[in-house]
Amino acid sequence: MAEKTSVKVYRPHIPSPARRRVNRLGRGGLQAVIIAFFTIFAAFPFYWMLIATFKTNQDLYRPINNPFIFNQSPTLDNLKLLFNETNYAVWIGNSIFIGIAVVLITLLLAVPAAYALARLSGRLGEQLGILMFMVYLIPPTLLFIPMSRVITLLGLRDSIWSLILVYPTFTVPFCTWLLMGFMKSIPADIEEQATVDGYTRFGGVVRVIMPLALPGLLTVVVFSFTLTMHEFIYALAFVSVSAQKVISIGVTSELIRGDVYFWQSIMSAGIIVAIPVALIYNIFLNRFVAGFTLGAVKG
């Protein structure tokens, strides 16, 4: 009690309880408005893509029609066009195949590297870790010109293997960095215990550390996969044969034929990819953020 009165002496402007309730209500209303505004801003293009997917030409191409509802009954023709008359299914297949291949390469390279950086090399390890981070920040838009030379020299132009070769340049540094933080959080004592129990250092890592690092590994799998789905410039620069294209490139280049835009099919092509990728990504987002904010965020 005595403390409270002394506080009152320092700060005479305490709002009355009634006033505070009004403030809180106002804040709740404001909160709702803010959230509604941003949700619409973020999701609006997706709603638009979804509804355009099922619109007929006559409905879509009339400026006076309300664009947000079906003025004519919805149709599946646009989806049929997408799957029957374009290489859409092939592009999805290519994207998934590349994704899986890149995930495997990334795991092979990043897991041992991350462990070594987290545990074994002390001061040098720290500096190498920083270097990894710097490598991650070098963007494809800086490297694509020499990279396209490399691809030509290797004879991989117009082949999905060019992307499988090159994509780990951004997944490996990022995933090494992410896993490094993850492995640092596993106490070294557990490993020592394993050594005491008769495992070699290597055996200890495989049988004790890997199972503990499983959530980290899963995160790496998801992010390597989605990062390859997001990539654009290498895919644009290296591959121009339709059957070897990935989804981002196929959709943005082949559904526009000259001046003819197959808008509904483009929108459906987009939304079909966007939703599943977004859902997977969403589940792991907090780890992703923690991964590239260098532990500056502890939440």
In the shown chain, the binding pattern of residues 158 to 177 toward other proteins, with x for contact by CB under 8 A and - for none, equals -------xx-xx--xx--x-
295: left (phi over 0), alpha (psi -120 to 50) or beta: left
201 binds other proteins (CB under 8 A): yes
299 binds other proteins (CB under 8 A): yes
Region 23-52 residues binding other proteins, contact defined as CB under 8 A? 23, 27, 30-32, 34-35, 38-39, 41-46, 48-49, 52
CB 123 to other proteins: min, Å? 12
Q: Residue 3 class from Cβ within 10 Å (0-12 exposed, 13-18 middle, 19+ buried)? A: exposed
CA distance 41 to 152: 42
In the shown chain, the binding pattern of residues 74 to 113 toward other proteins, with x for contact by CB under 8 A and - for none, equals ----------------------------------xxx-xx
> Which among 135, 213, 129, 145 is positioned nearest to 168, based on CA atoms?
135
CA 84 from centre of chain: 29
CA distance 4 to 299: 32
CB 162 to other proteins: min, Å? 11
Q: Is the CA virtual torsion 147, 149, 152, 158 positive or negative?
A: positive
In the shown chain, the binding pattern of residues 220 to 259 toward other proteins, with x for contact by CB under 8 A and - for none, equals ------x--xx-xx--xx---------xxx-xx-------
Element (DSSP H or E) covering residue 261: strand 260-261
Stretch that binds other proteins, among 78-86, 186-194, 211-219, 276-284 (CB under 8 A): 276-284
Region 277-296 residues binding other proteins, contact defined as CB under 8 A? 277-279, 281-282, 285-286, 289-290, 292-296
